[in-house]
């Protein structure tokens, strides 16, 4: 049984946010903010100025932590040079003079800190799905997301908008193994994920800990001893696990190991979506998908889903 893809295929967005601004002048440079002559509600083209009070953080912003020192540094830059890149916003349905930030929340926060009252924006009618895509893409391209925030953003696209890992790879411009590796860290215990979110553990540490029998104990040991990734992989092996990045000596074994990890990630993804235990078996480019049910009610439910 082949995994189905969303009926509406999103256009690849990995080439950058500049493409989202349509006919906005790509050479846009900051200029003194002029009073808004007309309310821009419903506008969808070009760069315009808008009161900061009309803007609010996006519900689909993947980033949860904003570095205060970095915001202060950006605010100082804005004081001297203005806002060099307009914010991408979308109107909030049913609300007057209210817009949600799709891309540019850091600039909005820094502009407030710099005591500005208005900012350059581009208004677009954007769906929830696109808003999440744009938020992830902007932050990934700027390397602004923590590993956990990036992984959670990918998982939201899969869970809420029926993305496959392959489709997600094409949309955000990342390889499928990268997507699979990021999703694996979400299987770690919450206390370990918290350490990742705080920056105590790197992505390399997290990937090694995915295969650990007791990731919580090892995570604390890694932080306490300030171990690097290679030392972490050795620690996991000594504790009876196999780090995700371990390389095999036999020719071609590393590729097989990577494929095994991809299959496991796919099984977990399907189990979350379907609600049943799933087994994926591969034979080169071919393979099989097995669903396990505990009773006839579960079987009836999956048959109904397959029939649409």
> Which among 185, 140, 146 has a CA at the least distance from the CA of 65?
146
> Which among 201, 208, 265, 268 has a CA at the least distance from the CA of 238?
208
Task: Verify whether residue 105 is a known catalytic residue.
Answer: yes
For residue 98, give the 3-state DSSP assignment.
Answer: coil
Distance between the two ends of the chain, CA-based, in angstroms? 14
Q: Could you give the angle at the alpha carbon of 225 between the alpha carbons of 219 and 228, nearest 5°?
A: 75
Q: Is residue 52 within 8 Å of 118, Cβ to Cβ?
A: yes
**Positive or negative torsion for Cα 39, 43, 46, 50:** positive
Alpha carbon distance 242, 236 (integer Å): 6
> Which among 13, 98, 109, 25 has a CA at the least distance from the CA of 61?
109
Residues 6+ apart with CB under 8 A from 126: 88, 90, 102, 134
Q: Could you give the angle at the alpha carbon of 97 between the alpha carbons of 99 and 70, nearest 5°?
A: 40
Residue 54 neighbours by CB distance under 10 Å: 21
Distance of CA 296 to the CA centre of its chain: 37
Catalytic option among 38, 80, 93, 105: 105
Which are the catalytic amino acids? Answer: 105
């Amino acid at each position: 049984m082949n995994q189905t893809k969303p009926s509406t295929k999103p256009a690849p967005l990995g080439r950058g946010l500049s493409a989202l601004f349509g006919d906005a002048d790509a050479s846009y440079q900051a200029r003194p903010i002029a009073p808004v002559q007309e309310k821009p509600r419903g506008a969808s083209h070009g760069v315009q100025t808008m009161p900061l009070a009309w803007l609010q953080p996006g519900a689909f912003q993947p980033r949860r932590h904003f570095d205060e020192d970095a915001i202060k540094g950006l605010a100082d830059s804005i004081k001297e040079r203005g806002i060099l890149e307009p914010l991408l916003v979308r109107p909030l349905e049913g609300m007057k003079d209210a817009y949600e930030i799709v891309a540019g929340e850091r600039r909005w926060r820094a502009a407030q800190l710099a005591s500005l009252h208005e900012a350059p924006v581009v208004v677009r009618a954007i769906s929830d799905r696109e808003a999440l895509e744009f938020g992830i893409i902007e932050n990934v391209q700027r390397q602004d997301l923590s590993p956990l925030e990036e992984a959670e953003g990918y998982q939201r696209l899969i869970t809420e908008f029926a993305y496959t890992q392959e489709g997600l790879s094409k949309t955000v411009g990342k390889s499928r193994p990268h997507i699979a590796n990021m999703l694996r860290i979400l299987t770690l215990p919450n206390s370990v994920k918290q350490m990742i979110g705080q920056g105590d553990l790197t992505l390399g540490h997290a990937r090694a800990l995915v295969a650990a029998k007791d990731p919580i104990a090892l995570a604390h040991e890694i932080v306490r001893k300030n171990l690097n990734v290679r030392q972490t992989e050795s620690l996991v092996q000594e504790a009876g696990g196999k780090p995700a990045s371990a390389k095999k000596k036999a020719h071609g074994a590393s590729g097989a190991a990577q494929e095994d990890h991809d299959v496991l990630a796919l099984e977990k993804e399907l189990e979350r979506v379907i609600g049943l235990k799933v087994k994926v078996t591969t034979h080169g480019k071919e393979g099989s998908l097995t669903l396990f049910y505990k009773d006839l009610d579960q079987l009836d439910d999956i048959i109904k889903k397959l029939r649409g």
